[in-house]
Amino acid sequence: MRQHKCSSRTTKGFMSTIVLTAALAACSPESTTPPATTGADNSAGNTSTGNSNYVVNDPSTQLQLRFLEASPGDVITLPAGTFDFERSLTLNIDNITLRGAGMDATVLSFKDQITGGEGLLVNASHFTIEDLAIEDSRGDALKIARGDHIVIRRVRTEWTNGPDTSNGAYGIYPVQTQHTLIEDSVAIAASDAGIYVGQSQNVIVRGNRAEYNVAGIEIENTIGADVYDNVAINNTGGILIFNMPNLPVEGHTTRVYNNRVHQNNTENFAPPGTAVASVPAGSGIIINSNDKVEIFDNDLGHNQTANILISSYFSAGYSEREMAEAFDPYPETIFIYNNTFTGGGEAPGRPELDMLRQALFGEDGSFPDIVWDGVTHPERTDMTYAICVDNNDVEVLNIDGANNNANPRVDMSMHTCQHSKLAAVELPSGLITH
């Protein structure tokens, strides 16, 4: 894992029947300060070198105008400081770089926001944002919609009051994007997901820290994602790989590896009725209704419901939602191997789960590291669709969710198998700098 300089900042249902879904000793990614840019003053109060590199001296009053007047190729640089906004910011121009002086140095604060659904909304491609923070937005902090070639680097999104249902839903939120890189960023206290990628293709999420969110990192209805070298800690659920039933894109092919997923035991504070509102506290990695998922070389520990939870749509807390015609509600072709597990499963985050734990393993017992609702397609009995586990003596608990938990059991005969390993996600060379 890339080395980071420690930050001094701190902040303060697997689902329904079983929505199978530490103070952080991690470090905040190191921020770099961009070189100063000088030039003649212009009418927006910015300075320009004449080569499309602009320094916005007072972002509170000048940044939205700079976005409106921007041209493709512009680099917009923000100085250190905390800058207050009462309205959302919107950028609709392709090929823009927005750069601050560091995620703890340049802060865009929306604490006094009175209008707008986001902090910063970007409807553009070839967009890079780096080295700044977005705090306390009414809605999503950073939303990027329908873009191609997106880079989010060393960005911090945070609600500084800590976990609260009134916080915005998403911290870092690219949706319907292609070729997206999210790296070395921090997401804290989102009421849905700290880092969320939805309905996208070809995504890398690496080297990030997500804490005190409902979902730390969520990959939803996305095709081709690599999630690695991240720290997900003190969330309700650490890393979620979901397919929602009513979206046009059905996700698959996700690799989750080399992550640290510990102590995701924060009480769920999502607004009622949202998909993640039914995620039980104590969920490490959750797979719901998603296919071709590979989980390997992760460090998972002390997630009190279970370190890994796997469920179908039918066990989810949103099963009343309408299903798209092509939606596949079953989690299939899952491969789990070479992970390290420590503790977990001793205090499930739903009363019905805790009752099941005590009935099966005794008052002082704990769930196995992997808990599965046991719901399968009645015609897909081939091992091609199996949940395969090659992880030393790790066991899978089948809770028999299809039959109201009538015959919960540990039976590794149907999980002793391997799948072909997935290929790495490849992004255009210009997006990868290290």
Q: Is the pLDDT assigned to residue 410 strictly greater than 50?
A: yes
The pLDDT value recorded for residue 82 is 98
pLDDT bracket for residue 7 (50, 70, 90): very low
The pLDDT value recorded for residue 45 is 43
Ranking 4-13, 144-153, 396-405 by mean pLDDT, the lowest is 4-13
Strand pairing partners for 134?
A: 108, 157
pLDDT bracket for residue 323 (50, 70, 90): confident
The pLDDT value recorded for residue 324 is 79
Distances (CA, A) of 2 to 83, 91, 183, 236, 406: 30, 31, 11, 26, 47
Contact 181, 147 (CB under 8 A): no
**Alpha carbon distance 65, 368 (integer Å):** 56
Q: Is the pLDDT assigned to residue 31 strictly greater than 60?
A: no
Kindly report the backbone phi and psi dihedral angles of residue 354, in degrees, each rounded to the nearest multiple of 5, phi listed first. Answer: -65, -35
The pLDDT value recorded for residue 229 is 98
Contact 158, 133 (CB under 8 A): yes
Distances (CA, A) of 230 to 128, 200, 217, 325, 433: 20, 19, 9, 34, 18
Q: Is the pLDDT assigned to residue 317 strictly greater than 80?
A: no
Can you tell me the mean pLDDT for 345-373?
96
Under DSSP, the state recorded for 250 is P
The pLDDT value recorded for residue 320 is 66
The pLDDT value recorded for residue 169 is 98
Percentage of residues in the chain with pLDDT exceeding 90? 82
**Alpha carbon distance 334, 176 (integer Å):** 24
pLDDT bracket for residue 95 (50, 70, 90): very high
Radius of gyration of the chain (CA): 22
pLDDT bracket for residue 6 (50, 70, 90): very low
pLDDT in tens, 372-399: 999 999 999 899 999 999 999 999 999 9
Q: Is the pLDDT assigned to residue 2 strictly greater than 60?
A: no
Can you tell me the mean pLDDT for 186-211?
98
Q: Is the pLDDT assigned to residue 1 strictly greater than 70?
A: no
Ranking 14-23, 182-191, 213-222 by mean pLDDT, the lowest is 14-23
- Give domain limits for the chain: 185-431
More confident residue, 256 or 31: 256
Ranking 35-44, 78-87, 246-255 by mean pLDDT, the lowest is 35-44
pLDDT in tens, 42-78: 334 444 444 589 999 999 999 999 999 999 999 999 9
Element at 291 (helix H, strand E): strand 291-296
More confident residue, 266 or 321: 266
- Locate 223 and state its tokens: 């095709």
Ranking 22-36, 210-224, 402-416 by mean pLDDT, the lowest is 22-36
**Alpha carbon distance 353, 276 (integer Å):** 17
pTM for the model: 0.89
